[in-house]
Chains A and B, each alone.
Chain A
Amino acid sequence: MAAKPKIIVVGGGLGGLWAAMRIAEKGIPVDIFSLFPVKRSHSCCAQGGINAVLDVKGENDSIWQHIVDTIKGGDYLSDQPPIRNLCEEAPAVIRTFDRMGVTFSRTPEGIMDQRLFGGVKNRRTAFAGGTTGQQLLYAADEQVRAHEAAGKVTKHENWDFLSLVLDDQGVCRGITAMDMGNMQIHAFRADAVIVATGGLALIYGRSTMSSNSTGAPAARVYQQGAKFANAEFIQFHPTGMPGHDKNRLMSEACRGEGGRIWVPKKAGDVRDPLDIPEEERFYFLEEWYPAYGNTVPRDVASRAICRAVRHMGLGIGGKDLVYLDLTHQPREFLETRLGGILEMYRTFFGEDPCETPMKIFPSTHYSMGGIWVDFEKDEQTGGMARVSPKNHATSIPGLYACGECDFAYHGANRLGANSLLSASFSGMVAGDAAVARVKGMGKSGKELPESTLENERKRQEDGNKSIMSSDGRENPFALHRELGDLMREHVFVERDNAGIDKALNGIGELKQRARKVSLDDRASWANQSLSWARQVQDMIMLAEVIAKSARMRDECRGSHYKAEFELKLPEGKFEGDPEYDEYKAKWKANNEKWLKHTIVTHTDDGPRIEYKPVDISVLPPEKPRDYR
């Protein structure tokens, strides 16, 4: 090891910035790499809020309840000890954000306000107007800037992370990255590397996420040996507003405030929605779920919309669209209850939702799965031991992962407002763990020969050269669009094995074609096409991991749904009824078989899939979920 240890953090969203902060505080120099100034990271998109039990609303909220909600929300598919720490330390994370100066919304007493969010009964979500993610990101950015001023943090912004530098023992000793100005590739030494590169929703083409959420960096470390877990678990938000560039998020609050979802009864009806009389409209959620109507949970709503559109062919104008209609509500009511949210629709669609029904469709939104990470169990508390180099360590020694790109905490489904929390918390834990690792190494480590760095750099440079000189004819932007179409067609809200097989075939073809890209841009300066072409190649690799993981999991759990394997709750039957007991036995047997992490290893022949038990020591599943 070099005389003075150094840590690299790749990604400067909430996860990366928290990690950097923790490392700098311990006096260890940290280098941050990001595609653009970190302040522009995707974390700024989060609107709703961040969960932590502060119990300021007289509801006797408890940390234990937060733990239970998180575990059950994720359908038990997450290692539970770290969830315990996540929820226990959440109030501390919020207090720290408060001290950083985050403009959290206040009660008349001047304390932090909290509101209700999906999937829970108590008001547990702290928020800053309608831009919570932006506010949290900026606060973390400011603190990191303070460390930058003190010379402890060095930022490499406008750099594309390309690969890890591994030594002959397979230990991570640095990275290579490309300067997005002159397109030169450099290798950088580090004693530990943390990837905090965010989500992967762009694999589905358009999503609610930002351009940076390609999953390409995660795909890169996966191809170098980091195990990937639970990739099949992707959250789809029922009310995305499809756009040509992205699907903006329409808040669930619209359904809460009386929004009705419908399609014309006649397939391909081209009339203006307001000209379609009541009796010719199909309010399918109200018809299919009379008890909840339009306010059914996210996953139920998404599946119903897909059924109406894809199975019944009733999408507006034959497209993947349904109406979310608020026009029956008085304007004043809507303005007071949903003001900012409706403004967003006006800004980006130029239409007034008070006058015209909005058009929505489920959209890829969040990835629960990600790079597999470890934790050190504290046998005494049943939680995660907080000071250990094992926490958030990937399967490559010296490499850590945090934020949305890791697989921890959310299991098969994420609760709203839990991921700003997990991104921040995991950044903190990963930062601490990387520090523990480099401190524990002492001076024993062998100096990494310059040639190892140079070889990896050269390998990446050859990658660039082969793309730049390729005389293929594939356009990387078109390839990405095709990949998204394929994934949205076959590995979406509803899945079946025949469809996923088609996706896998299609991905196989795309993989081949992606080797023959041709760039319209041959410049050696600020060549975005080159960087994009590389990212698309890696996104295709990760799409294969997602599809294959989904293909293998023959059950319904959280966001992963295959109708063929659905265990249906017997209607009108309860504990003690033979039908119910039979159902419960099946449910148990299914858990026996499937309550396991999907663990994927990269091989030359494609993804190799194994299963690993889940640590359910905090709250073992005993009864099936029952919302009746």
Chain B
Amino acid sequence: MAEKKVIHFKIKRQNGPTGAPYWEEFKMDYAPNHNVVSALMYLREHPVNVDGKKIEPVVWDSNCMEEVCGACSMIINDVPRQACAALIDDLEQPIVLEPLTKFPLIRDLMVDRQKMFDALLKIKAWVPMDGSWDIHRHAPLIAAGEQSVRYLFSRCMTCGCCMEACPQFHQDSAFIGPAPLGQVKMHNSHPTGKYANEDRLHAIMGDGGLTDCGNAQNCVKVCPKDIPLTDAIAQLGRQTTMQWLRDMFVK
């Protein structure tokens, strides 16, 4: 008789921010169409490890399960990606799951990506507005082509995969990381968003800013949405140089 087909996981676990990491293995019956999130859901309901020992269910983050909310980032077989879009059939077994390493660990596969949201605050990632009330007019016209370029960036889910892959970004580095830089580029390209260009550029000109980018280009390789982050970084290089000149001479 053929061996029963299984899904075999090796999961890096840790009880809390200060605990010691350990590995635990799980096997569940194979069924077609599983992804990593759906398999974790099964294990949560049947929390038994390969030794047949009942254990605490694995903790992880997910919400939309359609690769648009950015919650379920983890390292799957060495690649940071969205667990909901990682189909079991496409993965080599045992499937190795690890939490992102560049953010403070909460528990098991769950990490705290607050740093990314803080960065959005710092770079003023919004279009300045007088208020949400109607002013009886639209934003200025935007050419379809320009809109599609902005759209590439507006799909950034703050998932943190690019940050994980970036050699310059880690828990103790000041570097702001690729995702927020993409947002600077996006907001600077909006017809009224650009009124705050100077603020945004200044926010990425000092320590931990754009110049900390080592140009490894890992960010674009792992972005689940294929956002051209390196193009943004190159463009911001020119913008910040111009800004630096303006700061020098137009005082």
Contact = CB atoms under 8 A, between A and B. Distances in A.
**Same assembly:** yes
Interface in B117-152: 117, 120-121, 124-129, 131-139, 141-144, 147, 150-151
A135 B154 contact: yes
Interface in B176-201: 187, 190, 192-193
A181 B42 contact: no
Contact-residue size bin, chain A (C-beta under 8 Å from the other chain): 35 or more
B47 interface: yes
A576 interface: no
A525 interface: yes
A89 B106 CA distance: 43
A21 B132 contact: yes
A99 B42 contact: no
B113 interface: yes
A30 interface: no
Contact-residue size bin, chain B (C-beta under 8 Å from the other chain): 35 or more
Interface stretch (B49-57, B161-169, B231-239, B240-248): B49-57
A40 B44 contact: no
A148 B68 CA distance: 24
A341 to B, nearest CB: 12
A109 B33 contact: no
Interface string A130-146: 01001100100011011
A92 B134 CA distance: 6
A211 B139 contact: no
A82 to B, nearest CB: 18
Interface stretch (A304-312, A345-353, A414-422, A436-444): A345-353
Given A45-B64, A101-B190, A103-B154, A520 B54 contact: yes
Contacts of A128: 151, 154
A347 B67 CA distance: 10
A498 interface: no
B65 A22 contact: no
Contacts of B154: 102-103, 128, 135, 138
A101 B139 contact: yes
Contacts of B54: 520
Interface stretch (A244-252, A273-281, A364-372, A545-553): A244-252
B107 A36 contact: no
A92 B136 CA distance: 7
A606 B120 CA distance: 47
Interface in B19-44: 31, 33-35, 37-39, 41-42, 44
B6 interface: no
B56 A210 contact: no
Given A36-B61, A37-B158, A181 B106 contact: yes
A526 B16 contact: yes
B38 A112 contact: no
Contacts of A107: 144
Contacts of B213: none
Contact of B56 (A41, A134, A520): A520
Contacts of A448: none
Contacts of A481: 45
A529 interface: yes
B151 A142 contact: no
Contacts of A135: 154
Q: Which of B42, B84, B193 has the most CB of A within 10 A?
A: B84
Interface string A79-112: 0000000000100100110111111111111111
A99 B44 CA distance: 44
B30 to A, nearest CB: 12
Interface stretch (B85-93, B204-212, B215-223): B85-93
Nearest to B83: A245
A469 interface: no
A491 B43 CA distance: 28
B141 A529 contact: no
A44 interface: yes
A40 B143 contact: no
Nearest to A247: B65
B162 to A, nearest CB: 16
Contacts of A525: 15-16, 107
B229 interface: no
Contact of A526 (B69, B87, B110): B110
A243 B37 CA distance: 11
Contacts of A526: 16, 59, 106-107, 110
B33 A349 contact: yes
B155 A131 contact: yes
Given A40-B71, A143-B129, A246-B65, A350 B150 contact: no
A111 B131 contact: no
A521 interface: yes
Contact of B70 (A40, A45, A522, A523): A40
A348 B121 contact: no
Contacts of A585: none
Given A149-B121, A349-B33, A210 B137 contact: no
Contact of A106 (B16, B34, B142): B142
A349 B114 CA distance: 32
Contacts of B59: 526, 528
B63 interface: yes
B137 to A, nearest CB: 7
12 contacts: A36-B71, A41-B63, A95-B135, A103-B154, A106-B147, A142-B125, A145-B120, A146-B124, A148-B121, A212-B63, A243-B35, A245-B37
Interface of B: 15-16, 31, 33-35, 37-39, 41-42, 44-45, 47, 54-57, 59, 61-71, 84-85, 87, 89-90, 106-107, 110, 113-114, 117, 120-121, 124-129, 131-139, 141-144, 147, 150-151, 154-155, 157-158, 187, 190, 192-193
Q: Shortest 8 CB-CB distances between A and B: which pairs?
A: A110-B141, A244-B38, A245-B38, A92-B134, A142-B126, A101-B127, A477-B45, A526-B107
Given A128-B151, A244-B39, A248-B65, 18 more contacts: A41-B63, A44-B64, A44-B68, A45-B64, A96-B132, A100-B129, A110-B141, A110-B143, A131-B68, A211-B62, A244-B35, A245-B65, A245-B84, A347-B85, A350-B90, A477-B44, A520-B57, A523-B107
